[in-house]
């Protein structure tokens, strides 16, 4: 099992590197779209959307993503503060109020229209901002660090740091279950440990890359940056728990079987789907200093 997981992980890394080195920015947009649609396809299966509607839904989702890329909607939102604020607050409320209420009350999501809307709320921002990670990639290929969106890279790495630290801290010190009926493996101690370790990671990241992020070092911004890592870590955990709840309702262990040893694509990006939704409000905070 471990060998299979390692082989799959290595293959995924090689695939991403091949896309970055051999293709232009359009290649990265295609890769981002495929990744998003695969996760959405698995989502339609675990919420049990009707087959015919699932096909229509995925085609509509592809159309939305293409429109976002073609009209550069993310740049428009980023450059108009009130749009960033509105979108950011909506996504913040969704992940920190709506989803926790669903989890707390163990609400089963069985309405096709509602599940369709929730899927768009989750996955369209995810696909849009994954695409923005290398949106300024040169047409000739070959990445350079100056073309990386360091704020989005920070969020992606934050999810990995939170996930790994929560697992190991929880395994070593976990005694109190966080949500035993949804995800028995998660503990309160693991989450608290993850918050502390993510705060350390955030401090190091800002110290190393503040020039790429904002062009200068600022103690107030440094403190805000580190404090923002607390709700971001919580959102990461909520994203994971939400997918676990959907799978529990569907009676399945994994969202799919596309990644041997890892389950499905949605299994790998569940926390990232939630955290990347925080990018509009996070970017707004970052540019307010």
Beta-bridged to residue 263, according to DSSP, are: 259
Rg (CA), the chain: 19
Q: What is the pLDDT of residue 5?
A: 57
Phi-psi region of 168 (alpha: psi -120 to 50; beta: other; left: phi over 0): alpha
Q: What is the pLDDT of residue 145?
A: 45
Helix (H) or strand (E) holding 183: strand 183-187
Sign of CA dihedral 93, 96, 98, 99: positive
Whose tokens are 């070959």? That residue is: 142
Task: Report the alpha-carbon distance of residue 236 to residue 165 in Å, rounded.
Answer: 12
Q: Is the pTM of this model over 0.95?
A: no
Tokens of 167: 């697992």
Q: What is the pLDDT of residue 136?
A: 54
Q: What is the pLDDT of residue 262?
A: 67
Q: How far is CA 132 from the centre of its chain?
A: 13
Q: Which of 41, 98, 23, 22 is nearest to 258 (CA)?
A: 41
Please state the domain extents for the chain.
2-286
Task: Report the alpha-carbon distance of residue 46 to residue 252 in Å, rounded.
Answer: 8
Task: Report the alpha-carbon distance of residue 152 to residue 134 in Å, rounded.
Answer: 10
254-266 residues labelled b (16+ CB within 10 A) or e (exposed): ebbebbeebbbbb
Q: What is the pLDDT of residue 146?
A: 47
Q: What is the pLDDT of residue 125?
A: 95
List the pLDDT tens digit at each of the 289 positions of the chain: 545 656 666 777 777 777 767 767 788 889 899 999 999 999 999 999 999 999 999 999 999 999 999 888 888 888 887 888 899 899 999 999 999 999 999 999 999 999 999 999 999 999 999 988 875 544 444 444 447 788 998 999 999 999 999 989 999 998 899 998 998 889 999 999 999 999 999 999 999 998 888 788 889 999 999 999 999 999 999 999 999 999 999 999 888 887 776 688 999 899 999 999 999 989 888 887 7
Q: What is the pLDDT of residue 39?
A: 95
Q: How far is CA 190 from the centre of its chain?
A: 20
């Amino acid at each position: 099992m471990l060998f299979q997981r390692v082989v799959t992980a290595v293959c995924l890394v090689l695939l991403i590197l091949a896309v970055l080195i051999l293709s232009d920015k359009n290649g990265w947009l295609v890769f981002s779209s495929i990744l998003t649609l695969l996760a959405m396809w698995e989502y339609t299966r675990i919420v049990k959307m009707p087959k015919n509607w699932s096909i229509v839904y995925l085609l509509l989702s592809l159309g939305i993503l293409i429109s976002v890329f073609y009209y550069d909607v993310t740049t428009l939102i980023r450059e108009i503060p009130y749009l960033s604020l509105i979108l950011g607050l909506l996504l913040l409320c969704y992940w920190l109020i709506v989803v926790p209420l669903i989890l707390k009350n163990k609400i089963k999501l069985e309405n096709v229209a509602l599940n369709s809307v929730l899927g768009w709320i989750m996955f369209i921002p995810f696909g849009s901002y994954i695409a923005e990670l290398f949106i300024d990639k040169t047409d000739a290929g070959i990445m350079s660090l100056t073309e990386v969106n360091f704020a989005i890279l920070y969020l992606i790495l934050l999810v990995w740091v939170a996930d790994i630290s929560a697992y190991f801290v929880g395994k070593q010190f976990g005694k109190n279950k966080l949500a035993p009926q949804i995800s028995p493996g998660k503990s309160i101690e693991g989450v608290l440990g993850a918050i502390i370790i993510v705060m350390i990671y955030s401090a190091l990241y800002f110290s190393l890359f503040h020039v790429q992020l904002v062009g200068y070092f600022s103690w107030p911004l440094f403190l805000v940056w580190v404090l923002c890592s607390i709700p971001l870590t919580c959102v990461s955990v909520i994203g994971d728990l939400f997918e676990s709840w959907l799978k529990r309702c569907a009676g399945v262990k994994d969202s799919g079987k596309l990644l041997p040893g890892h389950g499905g694509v949605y299994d790998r990006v569940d926390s990232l789907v939630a955290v990347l939704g925080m990018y509009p409000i996070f970017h707004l905070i970052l540019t307010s200093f």
